[in-house]
Amino acid sequence: MHVSFLQAVLIALVYYLGNGPWLAGVGYYTLYRPLVAGFLVGLILGNPVQGTMVGAAINLMYLGFISAGGSLPADPCLAGTVGAAIAIASNLDPKVAVALAAPIGLLGTLIWFIRMTVNATFAHVADRYAEEGNTRGIMLANVVYPQILLFIISVIPVFLASYYGAASVQTVLNFLGGKVLHILIVIGGMLPALGIAINMRAITKRETIMYYFMGFFLVMYLKLDVVSIAIFGAIIAYAVVISSRKERTT
Amino acid sequence: MREEMRSDESKKKKLSRGDVVKSFLIWLFFSHSCYNYERLQGVGFAHAMVPILTKLYDTKEDISAGLKRHLTFFNTEPNVGAVVHGLTIAMEEEKANGAPISDEAINATKTGLMGPFAGIGDTITQGTITPILLAFGISLGQTGNVLGPILYAILISVVIIGIAYGMWMTGYSQGRKGVESLVSGNLISTMVTFAGILGSAVMGALTAQFVSVSTPVVITVGVTSLKLQTDILDKILPGILPLSLTLLVWWLLSRKHSAMAVMGYIVLAGIILGLIGFL
């Protein structure tokens, strides 16, 4: 399938909106996530169902995604938009899409680095406006200048990758053959472990590791789904909190 | 006498609810618009203070001093941490009405609180709520159900904006004592314990459901042939491979291997084990 000029522009806009401020600040929680980005890219390319499946698969890698203190371990939004575009255009298995999206996500940290570095210049522009007591200037320095920059550095690469990249990936994969596809599927199956482990680094402590095992084996043996684990987890967490509060008061 | 009191009243600078909400909306939209390595959210913070400063101060000099006060380094989790902004607004309001609050006091309050609320906030929003809702959306989406992404996007938006607004208003109405007791009191540690248990259980469930590692190896002894995966590993402990892999990655990360390096190991392991036919 060929990605048209207009479609590539729209995919690039999804990426910009996921990174930009215009969606009431929740762009980072919605379009930035491959699940949502994949669905929208699918919608743009005329196959929202496949887009959703691919986006969901790619998002597994970034389940535990945390960006803190200005660091970005990877760029889920780039992996989601470009990854879904490639997967739909080349009709790839979602697991293959995961393995292809992983390096794309790493490349995205470059865009982040440019943005975080150049934006520091606008902080100094804001200093000058503050000196004059110019409140409109603060708005310009916080919104207009950095967003022009972000628009340029996000729309151009995503447009190029979706417009030219999508079709060539299929040619390369066909050329490489089945063994490579198998390896990509193996890698794609393992990568979600990384996203989960990154999240565990942030929230799981020595005292709570047993709840991790509980969640794991409840799914393995009783075939419960994630939502029911969340409900039981919340009940147990509540019980623990209540009993520790009683201990403290007695 | 009565006349004097009345003129005193009218001199008192009072922020309306609209001013506080306007400031909140600027933060909600543009907190990370000019995110940068030098000040992080500093410029966004100053921008959010614009409606507050212009309402409270009349002279260009005072507004300029206020903007400079807030253009300093600032970084917190933008939603739970919004309590810091609410509190800052309350302090600015007192200051404008003559309370002896120095620039340093405002700055010290901001920098003192942004760290704890960043830690708590990241655990709650990015660490627990987002993965749980995502897992829900992904399990629907994997089968091609477009309600997965749509429901996820709606739910997470409502929750995040709700938390941010609630924390902002709490900070403004509770003042310094209230917010400090929030940090020192049990509430925060309770929330972290709660999120830690719930989040860990969900991570376990996600490992079981979404990490897929299995081996096609067949062991032939004489005439009987055993499938390593279904005949041996699954009998010992179902899901032993995805569980071991996730714990191994967790251990590597705690040993200061970067996420990027670990991704490299996984790719390398996939290539080697895939080529020799173990995976």
The reply to whether residue B204 touches residue A212, judged by beta carbons under 8 angstroms, is yes
Least Cα distance to A199 among B203, B132, B258 occurs for B203
Q: How many residues does chain B have?
A: 279
Residue A133 Cα, gap to closest chain B Cα (Å): 4
Of the two residues B12 and A233, the one the predictor is more confident about is A233
Q: How far is CA A165 from CA A31, A37, A119, A159, in A?
A: 21, 18, 29, 9
- CA A236 centroid distance within chain: 30
Q: What is the pLDDT of residue B11?
A: 65
Of the two residues A90 and A72, the one the predictor is more confident about is A90
**What residues does B224 pair with on adjacent strands?**
B221
Contacts of B46 in chain A (CB under 8 A): 126, 130, 138, 142
Q: How far is CA A83 from CA A53, A94, B43, B272, in A?
A: 12, 10, 33, 24
Residue with tokens 């401020």: A21
What is the per-residue pLDDT across A83-93, written as a single tens digit (0 to 9) for each? 999 999 988 88
Q: Is A100 on the interface with B (CB under 8 A)?
A: no
User: Which of A127, A214, A227 lies nearest to residue B71, judging by beta carbons?
Assistant: A127
**Picking from A19-23, A235-239, B58-62, B120-124, which range would have the lowest pLDDT averaged per residue?**
B120-124
Q: What is the pLDDT of residue B10?
A: 53
- CA A209 centroid distance within chain: 26
Q: Is A66 on the interface with B (CB under 8 A)?
A: yes
Cα torsion B75, B78, B81, B85: sign: positive
What is the per-residue pLDDT across A27-39, written as a single tens digit (0 to 9) for each? 999 999 999 999 9
User: What average pLDDT values come out for chain B (279 residues) when binned by 10 residues?
Assistant: 48 89 97 95 97 95 95 95 96 92 92 90 87 88 94 97 96 84 75 88 90 88 84 84 94 89 91 88
What is the per-residue pLDDT across A108-145, written as a single tens digit (0 to 9) for each? 999 999 999 999 999 999 999 999 999 999 999 999 99
**What share of chain A has pLDDT > 90, as a percent?**
64
Q: Is B245 on the interface with A (CB under 8 A)?
A: yes
Of the two residues A184 and A142, the one the predictor is more confident about is A142
